[in-house]
Amino acid sequence: MRRRVIAATLLIGIVLVALGAPWLATHDPRHAEPTDQLQAPSPDHLFGTDLLGRDVFSRVVYGGRRTLGVALLTMLITLVPGVTIGLIAGYAGRWVDGVLMALMDALLAIPSLLLALALIAVFDPGLLQIALAVGIAAIPPYARVTRATVLDARTRAFVEAARSLGTRPAGILLRHILPTIAPTLFAFAGVSLSWAILNGTALLFLGYGGDISAPDWGIMLADGRNAFRTAPWIAFAPGVALSMTVFAINLLASGFTRPANRR
C-alpha cells in the first residue's frame, strides 16, 4: 500500500508539473540563445541549456505535456478495440474466437516497434500518426489478455446463473464479466501505458514526430546524444523524467493484479 501511495503521489506530481508548465517554466522552451549554448545547470538555467541555448528545464516541463498526451491518446486507440475484440472472442468462442485470435496472432508475429514503424510509413510523420501507429500495434496483446480473462470469468457460477435467467450476451459481458476482469485489465493498462510512452518516445527520438524543435522528451534525448560527453544534462533530465513516469505507472498498476471479484 505504501508503495502505491508513493507511486500515485509521484505520478500526480508529474502530471501537475506537465499541466502547470506555462507557470513553472522559467524560459520559452523554443527560444534559442546561441550565446547561452551548453551552459551547465545554474540558478538561471536549473537544468542547463542545450546545443541551441534553449533552457532544458523549461523544455522538460513542457515536454511532459506532449509525451503524456500522446501516450494517453495511444491508450484510447488501444483499449477500445482491444477490450472489444477480447470480450467477443472470449465469450463467443468457436469460429469467432478462432478468426479473431488468428488475426491477433498474425499481428503479434511482427515486433511491435517494427509494426509501428511500418504504420508510420503509411500515415506519414506526426504526433497523431505516432499515437495511431503505437496504439494499433498494442491492440493484439491487449485483446489476448482480455480474452484470457474472459475465458476464466465466463465459467463462474454467477455468469452461469445470469445466462440461465435469460440475460443477453451483451448484458452478461457488460454487467457481470467486465467488472470481474477489470482489475486485470487495469493492471495490463499500466503496462500498456508504459509501453506507449516508451515506444512513442522511441519514434520521436528517431525523428517521426514532425516538428523537431518542439519540447518533447524523445526529441530532447535525440538532441542530447550529440553532446552527451560534454553536456550530459541535456539527455539526463528528460531521461530521468521518462524513467520516473514509467516507474510510477508500473508500480501503481501492480496494485490491480490481485483479482477483486469474489461472488
Q: What is the pLDDT at residue 262?
A: 41
3-class DSSP state for residue 55?
strand
Write out pLDDT tens, residues 144-159: 999 999 988 888 888 7
Instruction: Select the more confidently predicted residue: 62 or 214.
Output: 62
Q: What is the pLDDT at residue 256?
A: 60
Taking the model in full, what pTM does it have? 0.81
C-alpha cell, 58: 523549461
Domains of the chain: 2-23+56-256 (1.10.3720.10)
Write out pLDDT tens, residues 161-172: 877 877 787 888
Write out pLDDT tens, residues 134-145: 898 889 999 999
pLDDT band at 255 (very low <50, low <70, confident <90, very high): low
Residue 257 pLDDT > 70, yes or no?
Answer: no
The DSSP-derived string for 201-258 is HHHHHTT-SS-TTS--HHHHHHHHHTTTTT-THHHHHHHHHHHHHHHHHHHHHGGG-S
> Cβ of 165: how many Cβ atoms within 10 Å?
8
Alpha-carbon dihedral 144, 150, 153, 155, rounded to 10 degrees: -110
Query: Which percentage of the chain shows pLDDT scores above 90?
Result: 21
Write out pLDDT tens, residues 1-30: 777 788 888 889 999 999 998 999 888 888
